[in-house]
Structure formats: C-alpha cells, structure tokens
Chain A
C-alpha cells in the first residue's frame, strides 16, 4: 500500500476483493424476510418496558370499557340518599356519590362512554387535521389559503355555541355525537400543527434530494414529508385524548353533552365538583382513572414516536 496520498491513483482506489474479504456481518442472509420500517419499529418497541406497561394498561382500560360486567356487579344507577357522599365500606370500596350511588360501579360503567368520546374525537380530528394540514402545508398557495382560513373560522366559533346548536338539532345524543362536536371544533389545531411541521419538513435536504431524483411530489409527501412531520401531531393527539374526556364533562355539565342518564367519567366529575370541599373522593376517582388513561396513551405515543423515528432508534 502506498503510504503517501500523492501516490494514490485511480486504479488503486477500489480495494481488490481479495484484500477485503466479506465479513460475516456484511453477509446477506437471503432466507430472511425483507425488513420494512414497520418491522424495525416493532423490534424497537418490543424491547422497551414502557411499551409493555402502557400496552397492558390500555388493554385493561379497553377491556373494562367492553366488558364492564366482569369488573363490577353493583348497580351503577340505584341511588340512596342515605348513602350520600358515604365513605368507602365493604362492597363499596370507593364510597358513594352525592346522590348515593356506588362510585366504583360508576367508574367501571362510565369507562365506555368516556373512552368512546376520547378515542373517537381524537381519531376524527387527527385524521382530518393530518390530511388537511399536510395538503395545505405541502402544496401551499390557494389551497393553503382556503383551508387555513376555513380553519380560522371554525376555530373562532365558540364551542359552546356550536355545541348548543348541534345538540338541539340532534335529538339522540350519544358518545359519537359528542365526539363529532368536539372534533369539529378541534381539527384546526391539528391541521395547523401538521401544516407547520410539513412546511418545516418540506424544506429539508432529503426532500430536495428526492425531488432531484424525480420522485413524484405526492409520493414525496406520503413517503418522506408526512412521516417526518407527524411528531407534534402524535403529541397533540395523545394529550388531547385526555382533554377531550374532560371537555365531555364540561359539555355534560352545560346540558349539551351526554345525557345525564349516560354514565361517564366526565359526567361524574362535573356532578362531584360542587361538593369538592366536603367530599373530594367522588371527584378524585374518575380524575385518577382519567389520569391513568391519559398516562398510558402518552407513554404509548412516546414509544411509537421513538420507534418510528429511525434516528432515535439508532441512538438507543
């Protein structure tokens, strides 16, 4: 080998195969299935305890929502004022509400409505927000102008006003109705977030490289821009799951949310708020349930985000 750079010549730039024999690490195992970024993500997630903890919690919460009967045998509606704000006792481990209903039973039964509202509202507003925000941020121009201005209008409408109008025109209020109302007035937030991130991501080198390579614009958006811009949206989505559940409580309290007969954490939080000073427990339990739910989704969001980000994965 020549020792001085000046002696380098083009002929010797590529080492002879014999000089650098194939090492085991470079060997291609042709029998292995091709790895996608999804399998990589899965590998990465699987190795993190946080994933398992949040996964189990989410499964548990969903199980409670689908099969409340498994977890509870006490009536959630039968009320006895003799038990008003009663302390916990055998068979009623979390005590009683102001109306004398069993707090634990209501917690279990209420999971379904609360989760439905939270998850549906998050899904709807995230999907709408991602699509609209990505298109607006990426293509810009009049599309951006129209979409962003519609977002501005929607965002300026007081949610209370929108909810009253919609709720009084729709006779049957279900968790879906409430979720739709919450999502209608929340999507511009996600859209703006997505738009901002897309504008940022579209200005990066790899996008320019892809454009130079002649990849179609739409393909670049889907393959490169969106995955690199999704981060803040995941954060917003995981946090808003919790705020949607709390927002449902507020709507219920105003009489424009779920009907009072539908048991939900939000309904119970809003009913218990008046008596917080003398009986904090009926408010505390649904709030704790809400916290645990949000926590598990936040952790899961974190893990998923890390797993989808190849750079973060590499650092681990």
Chain B
C-alpha cells in the first residue's frame, strides 16, 4: 500500500534510541580521553576538522547569505573590517580604524597587505564596490536592507550609495541618520569585501567564491551540492582568526539526528546543534565534550494588535500581561528543553553587550498564577472573553512540543481554552502573518545579525518595519530608537534601548519566552571547541589530536 508510514514521515526532529547502551558508549569515550595522548594534544596543524552544516539556500555571495547554512561557510572564507570575538566584541581585522565625530559620517582606514586568495589586494574599493553592488535594487540581495540607512540607498530603484574612496586604504561612509553601533554591525557578512573577479562572473563566483578569510575552498569544485564543502586553511590570511588546523569539512545533513549519530560513531568531529531527541542524554553521551551556553537567539509569542480583545488599550494590555504571567517559563525550559533554553528576562539576549537581566517591570516574565488570574478577570470585567487562545506555528520546524506546553500552561493557569495551531509549511504561516490575517497569537523569533541591542528591537517593533508582524505601533518606542541611534557611544545608546525595553515590557507586543542556547557535542579527537556569540563554533581555534 502506498500509504505506508515510511512514505510520509517527516524530516524534522524526533528520532531516538532506546536503551542504556548510550551509557556504555559514554563510558568508552571518557576512558579514551584519559589515555596518554597528552603530548599530541597540542594538535596537528594539518588535520582537517569535520563539522555539520546544511546546503546553502543561495549561491555563496556574502550579501545574499542570510541563513545559517550558507552563513557558516561565508564567515569562514571571508574577513570583514572587523570580526567578533567569543563574547561578541569587535576586533579590527582589515580595518585599522573606524571613526566618526557625529556617528553619521564615518571614516574607515584599512590595514595594508591583505589579499584575496586570487592574489589581488584588499583595498577600499573592494568594500565600496561590493556594498554598492549589494545595495542595488536590481541585484535583489537578501541582505540589501543593511544599507538602507546609507545615503543614496533606494529600495525601489537602482542608485549609488554615497561612499567616497579617499585612497586605497581609506574610504568614507555617509549615513542618513546617526547610528552609534555602526562599527558593531560591520562584522556582518553583508559588509564583507569582494574581489574584482566577482563582477566579471557573479554566477561562477557564487559556486566558487574567492575570499580573504581564514579558510578558502579546497578547489573550484569543493562545494558538492547537498553533500558538503571542503575548506582548507588560507596561508595568506593576515587576521586574528588564524587557524590551528588544516581545514574544515562541512558535511550537510538533512536532520541533526543523523549528524548526532555520526558524532557518536566517530564519523563527525563537531556538531553545533543537539537534536531535541538527545536533550536528555547528550551530557551522558559526551560527558566531557559538550557545551550548553546562551546564544543570541530570542524566542517569543507575538500577539498581533489587531486581534480582538488584545488591542493596544487597557483590556489588551491586561490580557497580554495575564498571558505572560501564565506561562511557566522556568518549568517549560527545564522539562521540555532539558535546560537547553534560558528563560527570557528581556527582549534581546544575554550574549549582547548592554544586556540587563534586571529591567524594571520584567517580573511580568515570571510565572504568577494568582496575579495572572486577577488581571484576566479584570480584563473580563471590561469585555468578557470567550473563545480559544491559539498559538500558530509552522509544522516543518521543531515547534509543536513547546507550543503545546505553553498553551497548556496558559490553559491550566487562566482556565481558558488554549491550543497550538499548526501551519503545514512555513510559507503558509508567513503569508497569513504578512497579510495580518492571524486569528490568534503566533510564534516568533529573532537571531541577531550582529551583537547589538538595536538589532533585536527596531526591526521587530518599530512602526511599519518589515518584521513587525504584530503591527505594534508606538510613537514613544520609535522615538527611543531614533534617540538611541544618535547617541555618541554604544553605552549611552544602550541606556536608551533599555528604556525602550521597559516600555515593551508594559505593552508586550510580543511575549518573551526564552533565549535559545547553543548546544554542541564533539568527539574526543578534537580539542579546544568553543562557541561564538552567534552559536557557530570558533573553528579556527579547534585543534585535532
């Protein structure tokens, strides 16, 4: 019969292994790690590290790479003006200095001596031409919007950015408004330089990119679609991310479960995403070679302001607060996620500079049954609520379990009907979100492109912003964003952003849930595995025994 289970079972998630055998395996690995290999632990600088990845959605052009599959490769083969250290602080790379007196007109000086792997020099033009190209409307680059605050940017027609090349090692950028965290954003892949050869044949470049990063493609055909990509160390690399290994084999997996099994059997060195099925056991499977740390990923449930009973009025605010108080974040992260999520205390992430876990009013993010019921009753006094509170999610991601748990928490606390509502594919959910046709709340999340509070706030809650699917509008919030950008230091700007967050904690356009941790495991053959602020392992530091 055609409809056998096997025909349909999903790609995502959810596969597991029975039994105590894993304990045996764990025992093996710990004993081997104590074996006398200390002398070799310094690492073999020619050894290649294998790690998990996924097929890039687009050709490997930095300004068109905004998803993690391609991102992991692009950040390994390119180097920007600055790079980020493990904590997300910027380190100068190609840039010698990035200066401005008004936070609006920036003067960027470059170090000389940097080369692309085709031998051409990295100059000011490598940046200005690349940025101009990326911002051009007709090139339809997915990261094109990163240039929207550049003078000369036009979202609807081709135009030139206002960039001035002073000398091969200096250029100037003019923004439309002050932006204090501009240097912070420059480590993002949209701002990487491109060699002259790129413009001759962009199509060929996308398959065999030429960069200036710590690694380069092993050969012109190193990228085998759907299978993986082989990178080797770039000997000419002049930056701070100098690899101590010989290269990277990024293997593409359709499920992280398969990748996990490969690490277990020694076929893969590093996995940076433990599947849900192994949350409970990854620590015993890999007792000394696992990581679970906060990452710059924020997850929430957005309640659109057009939803009946949840408008931006008194009733709506009461209900939003009640819903937030009714979610037992501590319990859900502990039981459902086995501690691989951290309950949210704000709208950003603890790995971001300026983060505060003690914002005024963040007690609304702590489970409080009595207060939740009281507020819900007050809202009912204004206008009685009958119906089902639904939380929509796309079924082709890994969301059902936590959505159900959150709905159950709301339901049992407030005594109302609450349930998860699944959309078969992501595009269907997105279509309803964009058309403002949601009939309930929906899951939402944000992964930072660069380590800044602003990046977590303005695109999501600013009036009319592309990702503001909840249709939140607040003059006060918008003012905070403009005000923060104009500050001369990041610290001063962050203060303003914190005030903006305190406003959000009152209005609750989205209900913060938790920060997604990065959970990784690796084999005992590799050493010194650390994860960056963006959840990607710092591959260049990894050594192989």
Name A's B-contacting residues (CB within 8 A). 78-82, 84, 98-100, 121, 155, 159-160, 163-164, 167-168, 182, 185-186, 188-189, 236, 239-240, 243-244, 246-247, 249-251, 253-256, 259-261, 270-271, 273-278, 280
Contacts and interface: CB of A to CB of B under 8 A. Distances in A.
Given A247-B8, A251-B8, A81 B332 contact: yes
B3 A243 contact: yes
Interface string B1-43: 1111101111001111111001000000000000000000000
Contacts of A167: 424
Nearest to A237: B1
B15 A273 contact: yes
A39 B312 CA distance: 73
Contact of A159 (B2, B19, B331, B423): B2
Contact of A185 (B2, B5, B281): B2
A160 B17 contact: no
B515 to A, nearest CB: 20
A260 B277 contact: no
9 A-B pairs with the lowest CB-CB distances in the bound complex, closest first: A255-B395, A255-B422, A277-B16, A276-B16, A274-B14, A79-B408, A250-B8, A246-B5, A278-B280
A284 to B, nearest CB: 10
B277 A98 contact: no
A182 B425 contact: no
Interface string B276-314: 111011000000000000000000000000000000000
Nearest to B257: A274
B178 interface: no
B332 A155 contact: no
A250 B4 CA distance: 10
A276 B18 contact: yes
Interface centre among A100, A163, A253 (most CB of B within 10 A): A253
B341 interface: no
Interface string B392-412: 001110001100110011001
Given A261-B419, A277-B281, A98 B401 contact: yes
Contacts of B9: 250, 253
Contact of B17 (A168, A254, A277): A277
Nearest to A190: B1
B422 A247 contact: no
A239 B335 contact: no
Nearest to B428: A168
5 contacts: A250-B5, A250-B7, A253-B400, A260-B420, A271-B400
Interface centre among A99, A186, A259 (most CB of B within 10 A): A99
A277 to B, nearest CB: 4
Contacts of B401: 98-99, 271, 274
Contact of A98 (B2, B4, B336): B336
Contact of A243 (B1, B15, B396, B400): B1
A240 B1 CA distance: 7
Contact of B2 (A186, A261, A271): A186
Contact of A276 (B7, B277, B394): B277
A100 B405 CA distance: 9
Nearest to B395: A255
Interface in B400-453: 400-401, 404-405, 408-409, 412, 419-425, 428
B8 A160 contact: yes
A163 B394 CA distance: 15
Contacts of B5: 243, 246-247, 249-250
Nearest to A79: B408
B277 A255 contact: no
B408 A250 contact: no
A81 B334 CA distance: 10
Contacts of B420: 260-261
A277 B400 contact: no
B351 interface: no
B233 interface: no
B328 interface: yes
A185 to B, nearest CB: 6
A243 B9 CA distance: 12
A277 B280 contact: yes
Contact of B335 (A84, A243, A274, A276): A84
B332 to A, nearest CB: 7
Contacts of B425: 164
Contact of A255 (B8, B15, B396): B396
B10 A186 contact: no
Contacts of A250: 5, 7-10
Contact of B1 (A160, A239, A278): A239
A274 B277 contact: yes
Interface in B316-374: 328, 331-332, 335-336
B281 A278 contact: yes
Given A81-B405, A164-B425, A260 B400 contact: yes
A197 to B, nearest CB: 16
A189 B2 contact: yes
Given A250-B5, A274-B277, 14 more contacts: A81-B331, A99-B408, A155-B2, A159-B2, A163-B8, A164-B425, A186-B1, A246-B5, A254-B395, A255-B424, A260-B400, A274-B13, A277-B17, A277-B277
Contacts of B278: 277
B479 to A, nearest CB: 40
Contacts of B281: 277-278
Contacts of A261: 419-420
Contacts of A274: 13-16, 276-277, 401
A291 to B, nearest CB: 14
A81 B8 CA distance: 30
